Amino acid sequence: MQARVHVSLKPSVLDPQGKTICSALNELGHRAIQDVRQGKYFEIQIADGVSEEEARALLETVAHEVLANPVIEEYRVDLTTGEKS
Amino acid sequence: MQARVHVSLKPSVLDPQGKTICSALNELGHRAIQDVRQGKYFEIQIADGVSEEEARALLETVAHEVLANPVIEEYRVDLTTGEKS
């Protein structure tokens, strides 16, 4: 089973890296771009034989305890059962 | 208009960071996790009044020239018109 975990800064947390990218793009002439926020994502391969509920519980644990810092970041878990894109 | 650009290493390129995360998770007891690959993503706010085609063309340019390194990375552009998630 394949899963994706997206981790991004909470909306209330400043993202200087995103702001820098946005300024750079504006200076390069791409003025239609008004805001950029950067996040990270993880493509995770889960062993066959793990049920969808188990996988979801596992990913919630992993995202909360390891992949994201819940003080300043939020995360989203997407399971893409059967599909391997 | 809101857009997301995902940038990840091409499948043929080694991802030592992802491998390290995978090993760490396995050592923490999460043995159902078989592989991890890390990527980055950008949430981009595009000015109102830009058409969907213009936005898509702009994002393709920006992703190809600035956000990704096309030698080792691939990217995906998703437009989420109207929705601001």
Neighbouring residues of A54: CB distance < 8 A, sequence distance ≥ 6: B32
**Mean pLDDT score of chain B, rounded to an integer?**
92
Q: How confident is the model at residue B85 (pLDDT cuts 50, 70, 90)?
A: very low
Structural domain harbouring B6 = 2-80
**CB atoms < 10 A from the CB of B45, how many?**
16
Q: Which residues in chain A have their CB less than 8 angstroms from residue B40's CB?
A: 38-41
- Strand order in B73-80's β-sheet? A73-80, A2-9, A33-46, B33-46, B2-9, B73-80
What digits encode the pLDDT tens for the residues B24-65?
999 999 999 999 999 999 999 999 999 999 999 999 999 999
Residues 35-54 of B with CB under 8 A from A: 35-47, 50, 54
Question: What pLDDT does B82 receive?
Answer: 56
| Domains: count for chain A | 1
CA distance A12 to B22: 30
- At residue A6, φ and ψ (nearest 5 deg) are -100, 135
- At residue A14, φ and ψ (nearest 5 deg) are -65, 145
Judge whether A70 lies within some domain. yes
Judge whether B85 lies within some domain. no
Judge whether A85 lies within some domain. no
Q: How confident is the model at residue A84 (pLDDT cuts 50, 70, 90)?
A: very low
State the CATH number of the domain containing residue B6: 3.30.1280.10
- B41, A45: Cβ pair inside 8 Å? no
Question: What pLDDT does B80 receive?
Answer: 84
Question: Which residue in B10, B27, B33, B48 has the most chain A C-beta atoms within 10 A of its own C-beta, making it the best mutation to test that interface?
Answer: B33
Amino acid at A21: I
What digits encode the pLDDT tens for the residues A25-77?
999 999 999 999 999 999 999 999 999 999 999 999 999 999 999 999 999 99
What digits encode the pLDDT tens for the residues A14-25?
999 999 999 999
